[in-house]
Amino acid sequence: MKEDGQDGRGRQERADAVDREMAARLLPEAVVRALGRWWETNAAAYADGTPGAHTVRYTPGRWAQITPWPKALAPTSAGGDAAVSRAEVASAVTNALRREAFKEALIATYVWGKGKRGTPGGSGPATLHKILAFDGLDTALATAVNALREHGAPQAYAALQGQIPGLGPAFFTKFLYFASHALPPARGPRPLILDRVLSRRLRQLAAAVGRESGHDVDGSIAAWVWSDGNWSPHRYRIYLSFMHAAAGQLAASDSWPSGAAPDLLECALFTTTWETPG
């Protein structure tokens, strides 16, 4: 299954050609240098080669209507702000999934993912409350976890896409990412977070490759496949393949820790920018 809801074999063939070029070229030198600078700044924080120390601040009191509240998070009765790291969320999700407490696992990942941010559309506690009210939530999350464990990350992604009102891939990939710490996939790469920011980073890379290779001179293919949301399971598979290969490319360089986990690259790309020629 390729990009969903689009027409034109020629368009898909061009997208496939750009994907192949990206897989062959991986990260250009300008990006490797930018990531090297990021590592120089963050090496002490992530000395173990993982983004486990990546910490997000949130306001517990904003989430007072949300239950079941994970014990790893500060009580919603607490005043002021609190902080929670990726490692702490991973531990909370592992604990919850052992008890098949799927809602609790989702809440931990959602609060970490949202932090103190809000959006005009109301994403945050109000949206999460609506998600938790969905009758089929436990079944959908359990199905995805089973798909991850038995088949792999793209299948788990497909199992969640469009299944839970209000829960899009920017947040359900966070759930899959943390779930994989407890239940590694039987085959294929581990899940990684894919959101609008990361998609735009990949779009920038794809546009440059498309322009240089002649497969996408105007960048329209890059804008199509690396849109701001609703990515197809095929696109998620491409994303994981590229990110895991690019992590290997970086690990072989002098500017990145050898043996670093692919999610360190995901974390770095989220906050790294670079200039592309043309």
pLDDT digits (tens, 9 = 90+) for 66-119: 999 999 999 999 889 999 999 999 999 999 999 999 999 999 999 999 998 754
pLDDT tens for each residue of 217-232 = 999 999 999 999 999 9
pLDDT at residue 99, as a whole number: 97
- Name the pLDDT band for 6 (thresholds 50, 70, 90): very low
- DSSP-derived letter for residue 189 is P
- Name the pLDDT band for 275 (thresholds 50, 70, 90): confident
- Name the pLDDT band for 186 (thresholds 50, 70, 90): confident
- DSSP-derived letter for residue 238 is H
Whole-angstrom distance, CA of residue 2 vs CA of residue 148? 20
Cα maximum dimension of the chain: 57
Are 26 and 245 a contacting pair, CB within 8 Å?
A: yes
- Name the pLDDT band for 131 (thresholds 50, 70, 90): very high
pLDDT at residue 84, as a whole number: 97
DSSP 53-88: T-EEEE-GGGGTT--SPPTTSPPTT--S-EEEEHHH
Whole-angstrom distance, CA of residue 253 vs CA of residue 247? 10
Whole-angstrom distance, CA of residue 208 vs CA of residue 205? 5
Q: What pTM does this model have?
A: 0.94
pLDDT at residue 7, as a whole number: 53
Average pLDDT over residues 188-214: 97
